Amino acid sequence: MSRFRCRLAALILSFGCAGAQAAEGWPAPVQQALRAAGIPPASAAAVVQPVDARKPSLQVNEAVPMNPASVMKLVTTLAGLEILGPNYRWRTNAYLDGVLRDGVLQGSLILKGTGDPKLSFESFWLLLRALRDRGLREVRGDLVLDRSYFATGEHDPSRFDAEPLRAYNVGPDALLVSFKSVSFQFIPEAESGSVLVLAQPRPEQLEVVSVLRASGGGCGDWRDKVRADFQTAAKLRAIFTGEYPASCGERTWHVALLSHPEFVGGVFRQLWPELGGVLSGGVREGSVPAGMKLFYSHESSALAEIVRDINKFSNNVMARQLYLTLGAEAARPPGRNDKSFGVVRSWLAKKALEMPELVIENGSGLSRRERISAQSLAAMLVHAFHSTVMPEFVASMPVVAVDGTMRKRLKGEEVAGSAHIKTGSLGDVRAIGGYVLDRKGRRHVVVMMVNHANAHLAQPAMDELLRWVHGG
């Protein structure tokens, strides 16, 4: 009966019997670290498999669907590279809805986005600079924003963790500029004892007020000492009071204060006059009329570069932009999450990567619903290593002890520099996925996920697994 119960438990994805059997499957150092963290064996899953082998060398709770947090970005980025190609580029197009004569447009300027994940402040400046170079100086109409390439619906930035101003909670948008975030830079001035606060970009409607005092002592949790009051009534104001430790030097705080249209319009009104341009009208949403001639097209960086930013720095909004692009490109615009999920499902089926347990909400891993098993993720990573896009995909992951989200881990140890590992973390989730080169020059796929209230204590166990694989 006990054997029957275990099989039945596995079928209904229960952890009971599987967990009891799995405890012996962990390498001793990993098992000890899990025990020290108070994490039951049933709350963790792992697969280790040489990239040239047919079967794993280690598998524990491998078929259990778990929340992978940001490790889900590996699915999104590999799908993007294989479906769209490493050289895929997004375009932000400009149209003139009127007659341009002697630098004056008698009509409106239309900007249409197609989801560029990295239309930075500098890139947006270059776009506007190109419009000036092509003879546009004065717009005697409106700035019209065409955001129709994505159909994202209403985005609630506070829904995930009640932190609506955090940059990681910014929703995707077809016309995303500078991640819709203002970067406040704090610069202590020793002589006056004050703190200069700069904003970049600085939307035209934003006023910054700083009465911060430079203080002594260590830097520590400097944000706890800075009081920020963001007012959005008649005028947008950012008021900073309190103390800022001078020992911190210059620090930056990214804050999302405006809606997408307000932000784009505000940054346009900041930059356009600086470039000698004039906008007589307002800022509104609209669409490009059928058959309208293109005036200028700004091209993004190649996808091969974009996926490096997504995976090395775990950029949520960039991952969501790519995920929606999959739906828009492969299933026609507008891009929607449900379209993208269908596209990813079809792609996996063509690669014989069956993942019946897979749940993708937005492709970034910033979700409490997303699920994948260690077994499925490992199989995809084995496939990826033999894919034509392997160089771009592997290079996009953080290198242990070198860069990205792994830059501070395992410093000075043998495995340092010998593994490409994507990390993931939520309140009750920790995960890793990627590749480890062992001492004998063999490369292994490594996946480990922990879903438990003590997941924040799981890093030592994951580091032990990386050491164990590297040691061969």
Domain housing 295: 91-159+169-176+259-301
Residue 194 confidence (pLDDT) above 50 = yes
Q: Are residues 128 and 266 in the same domain?
A: yes
pLDDT for 313 equals: 97
Q: Are residues 348 and 406 in the same domain?
A: yes
How many domains in the chain? Answer: 3
Establish if 164 belongs to a structural domain: no
pLDDT tens sequence across 3-58: 444 443 443 343 333 333 334 589 999 999 999 999 998 999 999 999 999 999 99
pLDDT for 24 equals: 55
Residue 1 confidence (pLDDT) above 80 = no
Residue 371 confidence (pLDDT) above 80 = yes
Q: Are residues 325 and 388 in the same domain?
A: yes
Q: Are residues 351 and 432 in the same domain?
A: yes
Averaged pLDDT, 360-376:
98
Q: Which of 112, 114, 100 is nearest to 329 (CA)?
A: 114
Q: Are residues 225 and 349 in the same domain?
A: no
Q: What band does 438 get if pLDDT is binned at 50, 70 and 90?
A: very high
Predicted TM-score (pTM) of the model is: 0.93
Q: Are residues 81 and 230 in the same domain?
A: no
Averaged pLDDT, 224-249:
92
Averaged pLDDT, 307-325:
98
pLDDT for 17 equals: 35
pLDDT for 22 equals: 39
**Contact indicator for 75, 363 with CB cutoff of 8 Å:** yes
The CA distance from 314 to 435, in Å, is: 17
Residue 367 confidence (pLDDT) above 90 = yes
- The pair phi, psi for residue 419, each rounded to 5°, is -145, 140
Establish if 232 belongs to a structural domain: yes
Q: Which residue has the higher pLDDT, 12 or 79?
A: 79
Q: Which of 62, 54, 44, 78 is nearest to 376 (CA)?
A: 62
**Strand segments (E) across 71-142:** 91-101, 104-112, 138-139
Residue 301 confidence (pLDDT) above 80 = yes
